[in-house]
Homo-oligomer: A and B are copies of this chain.
Amino acid sequence: MTATLINVAYLIKRPTILDVAARAGVSKSLVSLALNGSPKVSQERRTAILAAAAELGYRGNSLARLLVSNRTRVCGVIVGDFHNPFYADILDGIVSAATAADFRVLAGAGLHSQVVNTAEWLLEFRVEGLFLLGVSLENSELEALTATTPVTVVAAGSDALAQGADTVTNDDYLGARMAVEHLASLGHRHIAHMAAPHTPAGLIRQAGYIDAMSDLGLRKNAQVYDAGPSEEDGYETAKEMIPSIGGITALFVFNDFAAAGVFGAIKEAGLSIPDDLSIVGYDNAHLAGTRYMSLTTINQPQQSMGELAVHALLERLDGTRAYPKKYVIAPDLIVRQSTRKR
């Protein structure tokens, strides 16, 4: 019997503000006022209204409310790859900053291929701004979005600016230089780079590597191995690299996933990190922090990036800034056990 009741509850129309009004014996406006905590409701009525609402299990209808108020105080997020905790960290920053600004965060979860679709859908809920995390859109697609809503592209989209979106990225060039300089400071002269030349960030990090080597007078020792961003990429490329180890004493890898692949190949070859090869990664992924890998890496301050993204949105919303702006944030070096003096 209980179960039947429960089931029926899903079908029965939910109580509305009118039902509450009737039960409390007042008008619906008063209910609205009371529910929104207006001071001009008598204590007596307020109590009665709140009681009635509770008895009825009344729950406000955002849809209706937002329809009239026309401000939602909701921002939408689309995460390109929510399997990657990296974006979760950024989302954390967004959520806390948004909450502080009295905004709610709605994440649209759609099929991977349907970013635009999901974005459009989110916009139909009248989110006041959109955050794209690690999502790269076609220029025309992005332009269509920015035409009607403030969009902030985080951790991706090097040329999003031209399409009217704000961007928040870490300084890949600087980060790469920091990695190289760290290795050089440990006495390494033969520092190679495992690159991801097919990604925008990969090209910038590679440029940082080259320039750092030049500035250190090590340009002639520079050596770039083309790989990619995945563990598989790192593993395969590292296997080819094995014979050169010894000549090469240190390696700066495009990111931590690829570095994990290098760890695997090195282990298989019976060599040791950092005894035979010092390694620096990038991104400070979760696995980099485990004691087993303990990978020295370049950390992107994701929390700050998320907060900055919210900041950018608020500027747009309150009219402080009308032009798209590029926010770049400095990364930092995290030294662990994968690098040592030579």
- Residue numbers of A with Cβ under 8 A of B are 3-4, 6-7, 9-11, 13-14, 57, 59-67, 70, 77, 82-85, 88-89, 91-92, 94-96, 99, 104-111, 120-121, 123-126, 146-150, 164, 231, 235, 260-261, 263-265, 267-268, 286-287, 290-294, 316-317, 319, 322-324
Judging by beta carbons under 8 Å apart, are B104 and A121 in contact? yes
* Distance between Cα atoms of A231 and B82 in the complex (Å): 22
The residues of B that contact A146 with a CB separation of less than 8 Å are 6
Judging by beta carbons under 8 Å apart, are A91 and B105 in contact? no
The residues of B that contact A89 with a CB separation of less than 8 Å are 83
The residues of B that contact A105 with a CB separation of less than 8 Å are 108-110
Known: A9-B147, A82-B91, A292-B292. 9 other contacts (CB 8 A): A57-B147, A63-B67, A83-B92, A85-B85, A95-B111, A105-B108, A235-B291, A260-B287, A264-B290
The residues of B that contact A260 with a CB separation of less than 8 Å are 287, 290-292
In angstroms, how far is the closest chain B Cβ from the Cβ of A236? 11
Given contacts A99-B111, A322-B3, A322-B6, whether A291 and B63 have CB atoms under 8 Å apart is: no
Judging by beta carbons under 8 Å apart, are A107 and B110 in contact? no
In angstroms, how far is the closest chain B Cβ from the Cβ of A237? 13
* Distance between Cα atoms of A159 and B70 in the complex (Å): 41
Judging by beta carbons under 8 Å apart, are B148 and A9 in contact? yes
Give the oligomeric copy count: 2
Q: Which of B11, B13, B62, B126 contacts A124 (CB under 8 A)?
A: B62
Judging by beta carbons under 8 Å apart, are B67 and A148 in contact? no
The residues of B that contact A286 with a CB separation of less than 8 Å are 83, 287
In angstroms, how far is the closest chain B Cβ from the Cβ of A113? 11
* Distance between Cα atoms of A147 and B317 in the complex (Å): 38
The residues of B that contact A164 with a CB separation of less than 8 Å are 6
Judging by beta carbons under 8 Å apart, are A109 and B106 in contact? yes
Judging by beta carbons under 8 Å apart, are A317 and B10 in contact? yes
* Distance between Cα atoms of A14 and B126 in the complex (Å): 10
Q: Which of B61, B99, B265 contacts A291 (CB under 8 A)?
A: B265
Judging by beta carbons under 8 Å apart, are B84 and A291 in contact? no
Judging by beta carbons under 8 Å apart, are A10 and B85 in contact? no
* Distance between Cα atoms of A9 and B57 in the complex (Å): 40
In angstroms, how far is the closest chain B Cβ from the Cβ of A58? 10
